Amino acid sequence: MEQSNTKTTTVLIVGAGLGGLMMGALLERTGINYCIFERAVKVKPLGSVMALGANILPVFEQLGLLDELHKISLPVPSMEIYDADLNLKGSMKLGKHKDISGYKSIVFARPDLYELMLKQVPPQKIMMGKRVLRTEEKDDHVFIYCSDNSTYQGDILIGADGAYSGVRQNLYKHLDTKGLLPKSDLGDFTIASTLATGVAKPADPDKYPQLKDPFVHFSSVMGGGRRVWSSVNVPGNQICWTLIYQFKDYAEAKEQHFRNSEWAPEMNEAMLKEYYNDPCPYGGIMGDLIDATPKDLVSKVFVEEKLFETWFHGRTVLIGDACHKILPGAGQGAVNAMQDAVILANCLYELADATPKSVTTAFQDYYNQRYPHAKAVLKYSQFISNTMNGQNWRERALRHILLNYIPEWVQNRNYAKQAEYRPQAAFLPLVENRGTGHVLPQKASRRYAEELKKRAIPV
């Protein structure tokens, strides 16, 4: 539904990742004008396995996408951990999730989710090949200047362009010259490890019988020498795989980052060879999965973390990795980017106008709602990542205890706590809690309540 206050507001979204696409999909439902600018010339379906649960699935249900999501995913009943000889070291059961939250935890190939989200934004509202070089605010508008000499004007600029966000760098440069930027925001990311990942294309179910099951076999191998690898089956006879190398210390991490500042397919080969002959928990060797993956779709990245203090200024605001980079162990990176989009969309929906005061109020509201949760998730993801993938003796001991000695009721209680926070789009009908667990209250939309009242629809 269109609202009179938003008809003339134009939002520029830089970055067509999952956070940017979710932002577009939500704004599409509000009547706010927007356009997404992506630096890549064409979509490249990178990434491997991804999981979603109660923290974000209600939004997909609101958008009418839950059934579509289930078509590309499988439930994950447990996670199994093996040693380098494929001896089972422990298992984490996830079977009670639906009873507690009303949603099963589901797993799929990230490229499949990306394709689904891409369909939610009209093609004419995504401009490819738009690398933003500079941003500027003047005359109560914000401008982006692209490498192809094009310029675009809007009322609000959203930086959804990842951990090394150009929008953030431009914003911070401006704030730093004015002495308005905290020193911590100029610091480096904390680098924990590096990983290579991909999706092996349709495999033979006779060779990998796990593919015949209607659920996920989430299998990780602790290989020693700070190495971890995993395989996860998803629909379409695909197998997602991941190779992780944990850096020994800060010095090693910095050296590797300096030597590999830009990744290219041929630069992946050294790491792939190190894991090529390692045993695959599904059978055979990891090299079988690597060979079944198109080389240009293998991605290698640094696993980093950092929580920035400055998320907005003027007419510019950041979401996702641009303002909080989270370790992937708990599967919360993309989830938090999409949660950012949900809360920011709610705040923009409430805008009375696009004056500087109104925009600042909306951004501050977004920050106040999201920052505490992002901070908590960063700490939780750090704990899970270190516990499930760490290789020092403390991490190994903690993992052994977690997988073998923690009662299932304790695990369920912890899950219930993590599943409490599940923000929804306040301008769409809310999804009721269908589980036994508690759900944190959400800030209601004044405008949506007024709209329903005008139409004589009970809130």
pLDDT tens figures, 150-163? 999 999 999 999 99
- Model pLDDT, residue 4: 36
- Model pLDDT, residue 260: 55
- Model pLDDT, residue 265: 52
DSSP string, 132-143: EEEEEEETTEEE
Could you confirm whether domain 10-188+305-454 is CATH 1.20.200.10?
no
Q: What whole-number distance in Å separates Cα of residue 255 and Cα of residue 321?
A: 23
Is the pTM of the predicted complex or chain greater than 0.85?
Answer: yes
Q: pLDDT at residue 146 above 70?
A: yes
Query: What token pair was written down for 111?
Result: 């490229």
Q: Average pLDDT, whole number, for the chain? A: 91
Least confident of 139-148, 262-271, 310-319, 363-372: 262-271
Q: For residues 366 and 341, is the Cβ–Cβ distance under 8 A?
A: no
Average pLDDT, integer, range 28-55? 91
Buried residues in 185-222 as b, exposed as e (16+ CB within 10 A): beeeeebbbbbbbbbbeebeeeebebbeeeebbbbbbb
Average pLDDT, integer, range 238-262? 75
- Model pLDDT, residue 450: 85
Residue 407 burial (CB count, 10 A): 8
Domain locations along the chain: 10-188+305-454
Give the pLDDT band (50/70/90) at residue 458. low
Helix, strand, coil abundance in the chain, percent, nearest 5: 40, 25, 35
pLDDT tens figures, 335-388? 999 999 999 999 999 999 999 999 999 999 999 999 999 999 999 998 888 888
Return all residues near 456 (Cβ < 8 A) that are at least 6 apart. none
Average pLDDT, integer, range 184-192? 89
Least confident of 196-200, 227-231, 394-398, 419-423: 394-398
- Model pLDDT, residue 329: 80
Q: pLDDT at residue 234 above 80?
A: yes
- Model pLDDT, residue 69: 96
Q: pLDDT at residue 8 above 90?
A: no
Average pLDDT, integer, range 258-270? 58
Q: pLDDT at residue 406 above 90?
A: no
Buried residues in 138-150 as b, exposed as e (16+ CB within 10 A): eeeebbbebeeee
